[in-house]
Amino acid sequence: MRYAVLTTAALFGLSTIPALAQTPAGMSPATGGRPGHEPGIGESLPHSNKAGNISQGERQPAVAPTLPGSGLGENATSAEYLRAARASLAAGRSGQAQQSLEMAETRALGRSVPQDETNIPSDSPLVSRIRDALHALGGRDNKQAITFIDQALSI
């Protein structure tokens, strides 16, 4: 009986070692965040300056990185975010461009719909061009992403 208990304890101990080894130093194994960080408040880790976690086909990390902001205020319009995204792409800052495109899309999605139609995607040409730009960015085609941004700005 004692042998069975010791064997079980040893196997349990060995099974937890790989789980602990996968958590970076200083990160909480339960949340993937740093100890004491409250989700949604302040800066989150990990950080990245590169676009990512956009398209289904790309290899994605388990936790999407925090992207650099555009520097625009809370009240910026879709057009302002689109211009910021274009400037970021032209400067080679794909992560900042992704963040700006996502904010432009959020601003463009502000619409009123009946409660039973909330699951229907927007058919707005502006939203479609922003999504096209995001997919081009996810495919690492910055030139095509800029083309879609220019089209969105002309709508």
CA angle 124, 130, 153 (to 5 degrees): 85
CA distance 98 to 111: 22
DSSP readout, 114-128?
-GGGTTSPP--HHHH
Range of the domain at 66: 45-155
Confidence check: pLDDT of 86 > 80: yes
38 inside domain = no
Residue 103 sits in the same domain as residue 136: yes
Residue 80 sits in the same domain as residue 111: yes
21 inside domain = yes
**For 92-111, how does the pLDDT look when each residue is reduced to its tens digit (9 = 90+)?**
998 899 999 999 999 999 87
% of residues, the chain, pLDDT over 70: 57
Residue 50 sits in the same domain as residue 24: no
Residue 118 sits in the same domain as residue 52: yes
117 inside domain = yes
